[in-house]
Structure formats: C-alpha cells, structure tokens
Structure 1
C-alpha cells in the first residue's frame, strides 16, 4: 500500500516532464539534409542513413548500444535462469526452424553488407539474428554451460566495446572521437557494424530467456 501511494505522484511527474519535453522541442534546422549530401564523400558510405548513424551522429548509436546493454543487465538482475524442462517443439515448429534459421542468418549477413549503400545495417541485421536465436530457443535449444559465461558476455559487449575502442583510437591518433578519416572510414564502419550486429542479435536472444544464464561449470 505504501508503494501504491507514491505511484500516482510519480506518474504525474513523468507526464509533466514528458509534456514539457515535447512542447520544448525546437524547430527543425533548415539545411541539414543539404549539409549531409554535401559531406557524403567524407562519411565512408553512400547510404545517408548509415552515414548519419555511424559517422555524423555516432554518439547516438554508441548510446543506443549502451541502452541495449543496460536493458539486458536489468533483465539479468532479476535473478538466475529458471529451471528448463525439455519438451518437444512440435513437428511444424521444428521443420520451420530448420528452414528459417539459415535464411535469417544469410539475410542478416546481406543486410549488414549492403547497409553501406542501401537500406540495412547493424540494427536490422542484429534483429534478424535475434529472431533466429529466439526461434532456436522456442525449439528447445539452450546455451551450454561452456558458452554461457565469458563467451556470451564477450559477444554482448563486443559492439559497444568496438565502438569505444575505435573512438578512443581515433581520439589518440586524429584528435577527434568517432571522426573517421575518409581513406579508412568505410572499413572502420564495416568492422563496427559487424561487431554491433553480433552484439545486438545476442542481446535480443538473451533477453528472451528472461534471466541470466547459469555460470559455467567450474
């Protein structure tokens, strides 16, 4: 009852804060699309969306990777993974998974590769990898003890870690954080997006479990 007494004031404060944020949004700045087009040759990619997400507004994408990691840590903080009782996925789901999972992985790789020149990229590819993982989990597949410890955590932090390492390296070499030199911009973006794809897919699939997988056997 004591908690419920504070629920309404908190919701009202949240409503007021969101209303203030919406009403105080500034007017769109004229000329930003033209500035993007004029500087596309410096972005390392020809797809304007990828150029904005990975180059011109790399900080936003870096924080988005951080938000995914924090969300997963919040899920894991709820406790250990509940006991799993193996059951048959059924003939339809089993056949569908065998056909769809390879297709999802191939399409994810294609979206990652084509993202530099057309709609696609790490988040779309990662979402497909996450869907493939969820489908496998629905079919009864579970992470082995040897993979649920350090290997799983490396995959989860790989995208954010690669972002930070690339930005720090550029800061030390070029003096600018996440400002890719044009000669190597496309290669750096591809490396960061590949790492982000693996992290996003792993994170989304891990969230589906609902709790943290058990520690590896000692």
Structure 2
C-alpha cells in the first residue's frame, strides 16, 4: 500500500511539473522575439542578475535546460549507486594508504577548495560557475578517496541522499515559489535574480560534486589480487 501511495505521489509531482513546463513554454512561444540571439541576450543582461552572458543564459534565460540537466545527473548518480557491487560506497577494506599522496593532500586540498570557491563566485562576471566549481570540489573528494581518508558521508544514509538531491530540490523550490507568487515558472521576482542565482549555484556546486564523486566511487574496481589455489584466472 505504501509503495502504491509513493508511486502515486511521484506521478502527481511529475504531472504537475510537466504541466508547469508546458504552460511556461506556451507563454514564451507566444512572445515575439526580434534580432539575433546575441543581441537578445545583450538587451536582457540588465535584468539577468549577473554580468556574464553564459551564466545569464544557463540560470535565467534558459534555466529549464539547467534544471533538467541537474535532474539527469541525479538520476545517473542514483543508477550508478544502485548498480555498484559494493554494499557501501565507503568500504573501509578498499581504502588505500599512500603516504606520498597523503602528504600532498595537505597542500592540494586547501588550494582546490579555494579554487572551487573562486570559480563559484566568479561565475557571475566571467567563465566559471557551479559546474566548474563542483567538478573541482569532486576532484578533492577523489584525492581524499585515493589517499585513504575516511569519507563517512558516502554511507548510503540520509546525508548522501540529501547531498545528491539538494541542488535540484533548491532549484525546483525557487521555481515553484516564483510561480506561486504570480510570476512564470523559473522567472525570478524583480530585484531578486542575483541572490537567488547565487543561492542556486551554491547548492548546485555541492550536489554536482557529490554526484561526480559518487559516480567515481561506484565505478567497478578491477580486482588485481593474485588468484588463490583452485581459482581460475
């Protein structure tokens, strides 16, 4: 009974989301657009909330694409985790202890965290943003994993689930609140575009890093052990 109720709730949410997308696309399709795409973007930059055209397109003018891309990443991470042969993404028996890598981590990890923060902040005015910052942040997790550092947040518990879905959930919440306030779906209220985009990018950075790290950890590991007696190679 509970499974049926959960399935029904998911179907209702998907239907509502699909209708909101169709309604907004219908409204946009009825609006006349003049000039070339670069000219259209340049004319609307003052209302975008950011100063870089790529960020403006990804998180304002065509934020539907970005929202759906994040959804695809979350689904890919869930599928990768579900198909992993490990009972847990954080298996203590698979940790390696490389003393050289461990020493280098002391220098690399703070620097990479700083670079990730810079890319996130700089995305509003120059190339950068959540995807680049999330990739760098995931790289720090890969180094931590290879160096044998404990990563308890990869346990299949609430923290992992929240980390994977948080960016998409915040993005969708902003869209729903905007629509409930009388604006179009994913249309930011006047004067709130910049803080809302920054809020979305912060949570997207964390979720993208978690997704990429989960996919790396869940990838099949070649077993290089020497075959024991009686085992076939």
Report the TM-score when normalising by structure 1: 0.78
Map of 1:72-111 to 2, 5 A cutoff? 72-79=77-84, 81=86, 83-85=91-93, 88-111=96-119
User: Which protein has greater RCO, CA pairs closer than 8 Å, 6+ apart?
Assistant: 1
2: CA distance, partners of 1:77 / 1:95: 33
1:153 aligns with 2:161: yes
Offset at residue 142 of structure 1 (A) = 3.4
State how far apart, in whole Å, the 1-side matches of 2:101 and 2:128 are. 28
User: SS of the residue aligned with 1:183?
Assistant: coil
Give 2:54's aligned residue.
49
Using the alignment, how far apart are the partners of 1:34 and 1:190 within structure 2?
Answer: 25
- 1:59-96 deviation per Cα after TM superposition (whole angstroms, max 9, x unaligned): 00001101111111111121452554255532321122
Residue 147 of structure 2 corresponds to residue 144 of structure 1: no
Q: Which residue is equivalent to 1:12?
A: none
* Structure 2 CA distance for aligned equivalents of residues 146 and 140 of structure 1: 13
| C-alpha RMSD of the superposition | 2.0
User: Would you say the 8 A contact 1:156–1:203 is kept in 2?
Assistant: yes
Change (3 A) 1:119 1:145: closer
**Unaligned runs of at least 5 residues, structure 2:** 1-33, 220-233
The residue that corresponds to 1:64 in the other structure is: 69
Structure-1 residue corresponding to 2:134: 126
How far apart are the structure 2 equivalents of 1:46 and 1:38? 12
* 2:180 counterpart residue number: 172
Note if 1:181 corresponds to 2:189: yes
After TM superposition, the runs of 4+ consecutive aligned structure 1 residues lying more than 4 A away are 145-148
8 Å contact 1:44–1:182 — kept in the other structure?
no
